[in-house]
Amino acid sequence: MYPLDEALIKVADNIYDMFHTRYTLYSQAYQHKIVNIIEEKISEALIAAKDKLSNILSNGTGAENLTTTAKTMKEFIKLSDHIFEEILYSTDDELKDARMKLEDVVRRRLPKCVGETEFATIVTFGKHTPDKWNEAVDEWNKLLPTVFLDKNDFIFDTIQLDYSPSKAETPINNVYFYSKRNPTDVIDIKKYELSSLLPEEFTEYVGRVYYTKKSDEEERDSKECFRWWRLSEDGMCMILVFDQKEFRGNWRLITSDCPSLDRCSITEVRSCKVLSGEWDLYEGPGYTEPRYQLQKVDYRNPEVWGANGNTAPALSVKRRTE
């Protein structure tokens, strides 16, 4: 057994750097949220045009069925960028749907990414599926009677980022090291012989939710829905406050102390829903008395939480930790 020399350790560190660069390229470029949604739109356009693609590939002279010709390299190499332009500038009514999807790409009429979250393990990743997101949208619509988000307007995208094809394993396990003194024997590099700043995990899972924007207000509602969904998964204390009775008017999702509701882009509270934790409402800013202790209940008007007269609004809110 030969001692591990410094040059070999440096090589191992450089290999880690190479795999980290690979991860960075995937997370910031190849799997970028805009790149992925554009790929999705182009794929949808090609699928919508599949019945006409055979004619496009053969320049309108007729061709075999696409499912047959696409199996041969001769036809496959014809799927170049010109297909995009052929569909985009076509006047064929049968390509209308595909053409509109590509026009959305060119004009950047793309679904907006309203939220992105990382999951540490495949177990937590598996719990957050499109079905779970659809359930969250249904629940959000119930919480806000004046808001309606259509599940069909969302795209739930999942990606996996890792250092190497070995997924959770350290990439060094798939690299053979040799020493000049003994070029025929593989050297096993131990973890303790490398830098202590290396990561413990080499795979992460990312979930993204896209929304087909119809208005700025709906986009805001979608972002708040995603925020509520993730915070509820993490067990965060939350309260929904409304500036009108019966859960109407302007609303805000509050997760921390707010000494003046002006900071939360709302002026007063006339109804609220405690989603988790316990909260105190105050009639004056800066937690000025009187104080009303709230449980996990829906409060349709100030009278329900005990205010003197059902028109007295609350002007500050605070989490109760006592």
**Mean pLDDT, range 150-170, rounded to an integer:** 80
Q: How many CB atoms lie within 10 A of CB 182?
A: 11
- Could you please state the CATH topology (level 3) that the domain comprising 235-319 is classified under: Gamma-B Crystallin; domain 1 (2.60.20)
Q: Could you tell me the pLDDT band of residue 289, with boundaries at 50, 70 and 90?
A: confident
What does the alpha-carbon distance between residue 166 and residue 159 come to, in Å, rounded to a whole number?
Answer: 16
Kindly report the average pLDDT of the chain as a whole number. 83
Which CATH number fits the domain 111-163+199-234, given the four candidates 3.40.50.10700, 3.30.70.2760, 3.40.50.720, 3.30.360.10? Answer: 3.30.70.2760
Strand partners, 253: 240
DSSP secondary structure of 132-158: HHHHHHHHHHHH-TT----GGGEEEEE
Beta strand pairing status for 112-119 and 203-211? antiparallel
Residue bearing tokens 């910031």: 28
Give phi and psi for 237, each to the nearest 5. -70, 130
Helix (H, G, I), strand (E, B) or coil at 12: helix
249 backbone φψ class: left, alpha, beta (φ>0; ψ -120 to 50): left
Task: Judge contact between 257 and 270, C-beta under 8 A.
Answer: no
Task: Judge contact between 95 and 88, C-beta under 8 A.
Answer: no
| Chain segment 226-273, per-residue pLDDT in tens | 999 989 888 899 999 999 999 999 999 999 999 988 888 888 899 999
Q: Which amino acid is at 45?
A: A
Residue 280 pLDDT more than 50?
Answer: yes
The pLDDT score that the predictor gives to residue 192 is 64
What does the alpha-carbon distance between residue 285 and residue 288 come to, in Å, rounded to a whole number?
Answer: 6
| Chain segment 46-76, per-residue pLDDT in tens | 889 887 776 666 654 444 454 555 555 666 6
Domain boundary assignment for the chain: 6-29+164-198, 31-109, 111-163+199-234, 235-319
CA angle 64-69-71, nearest 5°? 155
Angle of helix 50-57 versus helix 33-48 axis, rounded to 10: 80
Q: What is the DSSP letter of 231?
A: H
Q: How many CB atoms lie within 10 A of CB 189?
A: 19
